[in-house]
Amino acid sequence: MSAAATYEQSLLALAAQRDDVVVMTAENRAHLRNLPEALGPRFIDVGICEQTLVGAAAGLALRGRTPIVHALASFLTQRAFEFIRTDVGVARLPVKLVGFVPGLLSEANGPTHQAIDDVALMRTIPGMQVFCPADLDELRQALPAIVASRAPAYLRYTAAPPAVEHTERFAIGRAEVLASDEGVSILCYGPLLREAERARQLLDARGVPVRLVNLRTLEPVDEEAIVDAVRPAELVVTLEDHYHRGGLHTILAEICLAHRLAPRVLAIDLGASFFRPALLPEVLEREGFTGGRLAERILDALCEPEAKA
Amino acid sequence: MSAGTLTETMRLLADQELIALARRVREHCLRMTAGGGCFIGAALSSVDLLVHLYSRVLDVAPDRLDDPQRDYLLLSKGHDVPALYGTLAELGYFEVERLREHLGPASDLYWHPSRAVAGVEFHSGSLGHLLAVGIGIALDIRLRGGKNRVFVLLGDGELDEGSIWEACLVAAAQRLDNLVAVVDRNGRQANLRTEELVPLEPLPAKFEAFGWACRTVDGHSFPELDDAFALLPAAAGRPTAVVARTLRGKGVPSLEDRGDRWFASFTPVEVEALVAELHGAGPAALASEGRVVR
């Protein structure tokens, strides 16, 4: 069974349980192939127009529907931003935006398709929940809770195989702590969790204790889990396929300021640049996001004098 | 007297009542130009459309605002909201006295529509949004097998927005014949005439080319509006566009068809002179400049 099919199954199960669920798209059908037939008029494809997609979703939500709006993450969050902010955000309507191929997952498409500012954009909208599951299992576990919430939401889609063996059931605003040693605390979200876990194993073999936190929800974020990860850590690592500004590193900075914490932080992200388009393994290697490269970067940071970190 | 003549006489009498109602709404709009001003030119342009729709076309009432079977009106142009608030207040959606709160410190009555005001279906202000929102409402009505309709009042300047035209394509593709776009075609956008900046004509042909049925009427003539809205949809399986030719500032000659009276803030003395002009007095003496807000 393909990953896409199981995502479809989740949507179908939700639609069967809840009359309010409708699935919409701007002709991004790659992972929705069977839904037009299965959902009939509750599958709405408006064609390639993200603004109308989001505006119409707001209208459906005004009538009591919960639209799940599946479109390319870049065009959904960038081109339709003002419709999201003004129609969904101002009215706080329960529209569930699902961004397809976010972060590094746009692979070889190039800068036009790179949603690497989506977390920053969506976080600016008051009341908007932001979800970044690490793999398809986590996404499928999260969907019912996301749909049940009456808040607007943005979800970074992934169909990745399990990144780790998950230890905690999904709950909105709750991080999953996968290892809780004191030394290096790695905070991350999305499919990069898989690489973070590899890095943790490599560091463990070198005798470096690691706490690994899979945030899952970036808004509302699990502040307690972050503070618990920061307090005992010699080094805090933020790992994300996002610009440096506006994502997890910014969230960490906000929380540290609020709690008067000043940890040593290694930010591993895309800085202020687009990534060079390529297939995912190549991108991970080149951007230094493989488990091996992550472990090296963390060891380097630990060896550097504190002032330079 | 034949039955036809009697009907015609009653219609004329009813039109007189609507004309009087529209005049009261215009007076409310003029009074909202005091203490900070409002988009008076745009509001006076759409008064007759809103008065007519709420009095004779829309199946909605102050005690049915949660009724899923009601007709919807979405004010997409937004800045003409004094006309909507005046109409809603006169028809009992909220107290007429509340109009005096316009721009007050805790008031929901500001320069663009707020859903906090009874009768306002959705907020607007950013142009080019509510045709898309109307599509969503119309889709849900159809999903539920409802007979109610969605009217979206658009400004003609607003038609510069690309989102309007993508929504037009989608509405036609979805065959939403429960959707009606009413264009307040006063020929002006914020500062300029539409045809001087981004020409829209031939406008009805554009809607038709996009798959809509289109009617063109005098937007200040109640008999013509009766005919335009009498039989909807104008064509089965198609959304309907009604291009209503109007005049910015309609009803107050000192404000009519002027580029500098789109938004205006007047002194209390000027407001009284404008109200008198509305009721037939000579031209108001106006020293206040129209304010450029965009």
How does pLDDT run across A101-155, given as a tens digit for each residue? 999 999 999 999 999 999 999 999 999 999 999 999 999 999 999 999 999 999 9
Q: pLDDT tens across B52-61, in order?
A: 999 999 999 9
Contacts of B288 (CB under 8 A, 6+ apart): B264, B265, B266, B267, B270
CATH of residue A148 = 3.40.50.970
Taking residues A2-22, what's their average pLDDT? 93
**Is the pLDDT at B68 greater than 90, yes or no?**
yes
The answer to whether residues A199 and A242 belong to one domain is yes
Q: How deeply is B231 buried, as exposed, middle or buried, from its count of CB atoms within 10 A (0-12, 13-18, 19+)?
A: exposed
Residue A167 lies in a domain: no
Taking residues B50-79, what's their average pLDDT? 97
The answer to whether residues A15 and A150 belong to one domain is yes
Q: Which residues of B touch A68 (CB under 8 A)?
A: none
**Cβ atoms within 10 Å of B285's Cβ, excluding its own:** 10
Rg (CA), chain B: 18
**Is the pLDDT at B4 greater than 90, yes or no?**
no
The answer to whether residues A61 and A112 belong to one domain is yes
| Domain total of chain A | 2
Q: pLDDT tens across B97-123, in order?
A: 999 999 999 999 999 999 999 999 999
CA distance B136 to chain A (A): 4
pLDDT for res B5 = 73
Structure tokens at B149: 């309709």
**Is the pLDDT at A286 greater than 60, yes or no?**
yes
Residue A163 lies in a domain: no
The answer to whether residues A180 and A35 belong to one domain is no
CA distance B110 to chain A (A): 16
- The angle at the Cα of A122, spanning A119 to A126, to the nearest 5 degrees, equals 135
At A253 the three-state DSSP class reads helix
- The verdict on B168 touching A (C-beta cutoff 8 Å) is no
CATH superfamily, region B3-278: Thiamin diphosphate (ThDP)-binding fold, Pyr/PP domains (3.40.50.970)
User: Domain boundaries in chain B?
Assistant: 3-278
The answer to whether residues A192 and A268 belong to one domain is yes
Structure tokens at A267: 């930010």
Provide the phi-psi class of A207: left if phi over 0, else alpha when psi is between -120 and 50, else beta: left
Residue A169 lies in a domain: no
pLDDT for res B9 = 82
- How far from chain centre, in Å, is Cα B157? 14
CA distance B281 to chain A (A): 43
Distances (CA, A) of A149 to A128, A142, A159: 11, 11, 22
The answer to whether residues A192 and A292 belong to one domain is yes
Residue A164 lies in a domain: no
B163 and A55 within 8 Å at the Cβ level: the answer is yes
- The verdict on B123 touching A (C-beta cutoff 8 Å) is yes
Lowest mean pLDDT among A144-148, A150-154, B32-36, B142-146: B32-36
3-state class percentages of chain A: helix first, strand second, coil last, to nearest 5 = 45, 20, 40
pLDDT for res B3 = 57
Taking residues A201-218, what's their average pLDDT? 98
The answer to whether residues A34 and A67 belong to one domain is yes
Could you tell me the pLDDT band of residue B7, with boundaries at 50, 70 and 90? confident
Contacts of B120 (CB under 8 A, 6+ apart): B75, B84, B88, B113, B114
pLDDT for res B247 = 98
Mutation for testing the A interface, residue in B65, B130, B163, B179 having most A CBs under 10 Å: B163
**Is the pLDDT at A165 greater than 80, yes or no?**
yes
Q: Percent of chain B, pLDDT > 90?
A: 91
Could you tell me the pLDDT band of residue A3, with boundaries at 50, 70 and 90? confident
The answer to whether residues A228 and A101 belong to one domain is no
The answer to whether residues A185 and A142 belong to one domain is no
Distances (CA, A) of A167 to A73, A164, A170: 28, 9, 10
Domain that holds residue A257: 176-308
pLDDT for res B11 = 82
Residue A165 lies in a domain: no
Residue in B141, B143, B170 nearest the CB of A52: B170
Taking residues B185-207, what's their average pLDDT? 96
Could you tell me the pLDDT band of residue A309, with boundaries at 50, 70 and 90? very low
Residue A29 lies in a domain: yes
A83 and B166 within 8 Å at the Cβ level: the answer is no
Q: ipTM of the assembly?
A: 0.96
Q: What is the 3-state secondary structure (H, E, C) of chain B?
A: CCHHHHHHHHHHHHHHHHHHHHHHHHHHHHHCCCCCCECHHHHHHHHHHHHHHHHHHCCCCHHHCCCCCCCEEEECCCCCHHHHHHHHHHCCCCCHHHHHHCCCCCCCCCCCCCCCCCCCCCCCCCCCCHHHHHHHHHHHHHHCCCCCCEEEEEECHHHHCHHHHHHHHHHHHCCCCCEEEEEEECCECCCCEHHHHCCCCCHHHHHHHCCCEEEEEECCCHHHHHHHHHCCCCCCCCCEEEEEECCCCCCCHHHCCCHHHCCECCCHHHHHHHHHHHCCCCCCCCCCCECCCC
pLDDT for res B294 = 54
Q: pLDDT tens across A197-206, in order?
A: 999 999 999 9
pLDDT for res B137 = 98
The answer to whether residues A23 and A152 belong to one domain is yes
pLDDT for res B1 = 47
Which residue, of A156, A186, A204, is where some domain finishes? Answer: A156
The answer to whether residues A7 and A151 belong to one domain is yes
CATH of residue A216 = 3.40.50.920
How many Å apart are CA B101 and CA B114, to the nearest integer? 14
The answer to whether residues A141 and A276 belong to one domain is no
B167 and A60 within 8 Å at the Cβ level: the answer is no
For chain B, give the mean pLDDT.
95
